[in-house]
């Protein structure tokens, strides 16, 4: 259970305040740096293998479709 906003030692800054603007700018900078370093998963194009039947799949859409059709839910990137 999440603590209430009153009991949180480090509450989030209110939107539109200088603290919130600084936090948003820092988050955007972090996202850009991670993206440039390719530290993300391209869920539309990554390759997966079903752990049950070993079929190769491309992207989240194919994995979801395979799971719905077969009931399989054990996937791994390869």
Helices H, strands E: what count in the chain? 2, 3
Q: Tell me the per-residue pLDDT of 1-55, one tens digit each, with 9 for 90 and over.
A: 555 555 667 777 788 888 889 999 999 999 999 989 988 888 999 999 999 999 9
> Given pLDDT bands bounded at 50, 70 and 90, which one contains residue 59?
very high
Nearest-angstrom CA–CA distance, 7 and 22: 23
49 DSSP β-pair partners: 56, 76
Provide mean pLDDT across the span 53-72: 97
Q: So what's the pLDDT on residue 44? A: 93
Q: So what's the pLDDT on residue 42? A: 87
């Amino acid at each position: 259970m999440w603590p209430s906003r009153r009991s949180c030692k480090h509450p989030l800054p209110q939107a539109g305040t200088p603290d919130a603007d600084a936090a948003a700018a820092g988050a955007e900078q972090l996202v850009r740096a991670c993206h440039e370093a390719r530290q993300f998963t391209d869920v539309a194009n990554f390759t997966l293998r079903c752990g049950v039947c070993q079929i190769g799949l491309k992207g989240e859409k194919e994995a979801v479709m395979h799971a719905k059709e077969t009931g399989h839910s054990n996937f791994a990137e390869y």
